[in-house]
Amino acid sequence: MQTLLQLVLQLATINLEFLGLAFIARPFLIEENIMRLWVTGYRSYELGTFGDKDPKIKVIKYALHQTLKEQVDNGLEWVITGAQLGIEQWTIEVVADMKKDYPQLKLAVMLPFKQFGSQWSEDNQAKLQKLIAQSDFSESVSTKPFQSPIQLKNYQKFMLAHTDGALFFYDTEFEGKTIFDFQVVTKYQTQTPYPLVQVDMYQLQEYASELEEKMNENRYDY
């Protein structure tokens, strides 16, 4: 039977795009006082997850919970994310659960354009509406349905302008859609102080090991 650590290791081997070797760990803690945090990362298909009960999602949600908890303890007030399938939707679920213990924590779900997700399956569209209903605020940056990539660029500009830092579940060794957000943020950093922290594959492995240890000792607190 596979351990959680072995399962999360599959994140790096689930498809040809994710083949690789070693990683450099990066500490998560942001020293600056972050009150509004942009959270995004890999899409679910990029991580090779299948369904809501995929064991890898347990590890990712645990990592989200632990990293966000650190920031809440340091004064984080708003988590601002999108609604893409994957890290963004899991962030919504994790924050909604965290609000039970941290009622001061707020959640904003920002959509890049009107009718976002309209091409998804009926089940995914229904889930999207359910997730949005759990937020404290949700709106579309563009007032029109998708027309051009300019709307996506305007969405990135909005997220940068309305947050104090970012948390990306993303590893530069394994490119995905988040590369475009990563490039925008790193360019922005050359002009404006803006903390960006990445949770990479190496750290996900560490979180999997930590979670497995807690579960073995019946100390699983999430």
Q: What is the DSSP letter of 86?
A: B
pTM: 0.86
Q: What does the pLDDT look like over 35-55, one tens digit per residue?
A: 999 999 999 999 999 888 899
Give the whole-angstrom CA distance, residue 134 versus residue 16: 35
CATH for 4-20+33-216 is 3.40.50.450
Domain layout of the chain by residue ranges:
4-20+33-216
Q: What does the pLDDT look like over 157-207, one tens digit per residue?
A: 999 999 999 999 999 999 999 999 999 999 999 999 999 999 999 999 999
pLDDT of 4 reads 41
Give the whole-angstrom CA distance, residue 65 versus residue 80: 15
Give the whole-angstrom CA distance, residue 135 versus residue 138: 7
**Contact status, residue 11 vs residue 48, Cβ threshold 8 Å:** yes
CB atoms within 10 A of CB 101: 9
